[in-house]
Amino acid sequence: MTAALLAADEPLVRWDWVGDHTDEITELFWEHVTLTVVAVGIGFAISMVLALVATRWRWTYEPLAGFCSVLYAIPSLALFGILVAIPFFGLGFRTAEVALVGYTLLILLRNIVAGLDGVPPEVREAADGMGYEPWRRVLRVDLPLATPAIVAGLRIATVTTVGLVTVTALVGEGGFGDLINDGLSRDFSTPIVVGTVLSVALAIAFDLLFVVIERLLTPWTRDRTPRERSSGDVVASPLASAPAPAGGRL
């Protein structure tokens, strides 16, 4: 088999190309960030509402989580495909965002609910005893205490979304995914490498950002025993793991 088209002397990354295309790369960076932030933002808003509904009316949790689960299980490409087949959506920002938001729902919903559930009953009772109305209590007491779990969920959702955005390039909006796609269709390795490296870097950056946020918002978890510390920050929020239950991640 000859690899004549990728001659041994063809470099993996043509730096001159990178230099010539910094504008485009920057633009794609913002596109990637925007897609991610919008998706997680909307997903968070929806999940928050759903979570509050689920904690108030317990019986709704299973159906809601179940629905989100099934959604999550649908392979991303399949979900994009289905959306593209619906005339209202087709290709574009709307389609990308709907799919991206859909994938964040399960992660965020489960984490928020678990966080809220994790509030010790004694604290709730104390708050009620102090005269808090239910909704105010949720707002001023439960949610703040649920913060570690919520932030953990946001962290996972964000990192996962950054990865998914590379695929949304196929429906026309993909940030760094556009680079990867361009390289694939032209048999050109440079944009593929650049696109991959940058999207991984972005994901890690977001991850670190959330680690910092987690630390800032929950200073009381910084005091840990040596054993727990060695397991990393996961212990602080046992639900940092939360779900990658069914596949569909990419």
For another protein, the binding residues in 21-50 under the rule CB under 8 A are: 38, 42, 45-46
Using CB under 8 A, which of the segments 124-132, 137-145, 217-225, 234-242 binds another protein?
234-242
Q: Rule CB under 8 A: say whether 104 interacts with another protein.
A: no
Nearer to another protein, 131 or 134 (CB): 134
Using CB under 8 A, which of the segments 87-95, 122-130, 137-145, 213-221 binds another protein?
87-95
Using CB under 8 A, which of the segments 122-130, 131-139, 156-164, 216-224 binds another protein?
156-164
Q: How far is the CB of 199 from another protein (least distance, A)?
A: 6
Q: How far is the CB of 215 from another protein (least distance, A)?
A: 15
Longest alpha-carbon distance in the chain: 78
Using CB under 8 A, which of the segments 123-131, 132-140, 218-226, 241-249 binds another protein?
241-249
Q: Rule CB under 8 A: say whether 190 interacts with another protein.
A: yes
Please give the Cα distance from 12 to 204 (Å, whole number): 23
Q: Rule CB under 8 A: say whether 180 interacts with another protein.
A: yes
Nearer to another protein, 2 or 131 (CB): 2
Q: How far is the CB of 64 from another protein (least distance, A)?
A: 10
Nearer to another protein, 26 or 231 (CB): 231
Q: What string of H, E and C letters represents the secondary structure of the chain?
A: CCCHHHCCCCCCCCHHHHHHCHHHHHHHHHHHHHHHHHHHHHHHHHHHHHHHHHHHCHHHHHHHHHHHHHHHHCCHHHHHHHHHHCCCCCCCHHHHHHHHHHHHHHHHHHHHHHHHHCCCHHHHHHHHHCCCCHHHHHHHHHHHHHHHHHHHHHHHHHHHHHHHHHHHHHHCCCCHHHHHHHHHHHCCHHHHHHHHHHHHHHHHHHHHHHHHHHHHHCHHHHCCCHHHHHCHHHHHCHHHCCCCCCCCCC
Q: Out of 15, 26, 27, 90, which residue is the one contacting another protein (CB under 8 A)? A: 90
Using CB under 8 A, which of the segments 122-130, 135-143, 180-188, 215-223 binds another protein?
180-188
Contacts with another protein: how many residues (CB under 8 A)?
103
Q: How far is the CB of 140 from another protein (least distance, A)?
A: 20
**Nearest in space to 36 (alpha carbons), one of 157, 130, 212:** 157
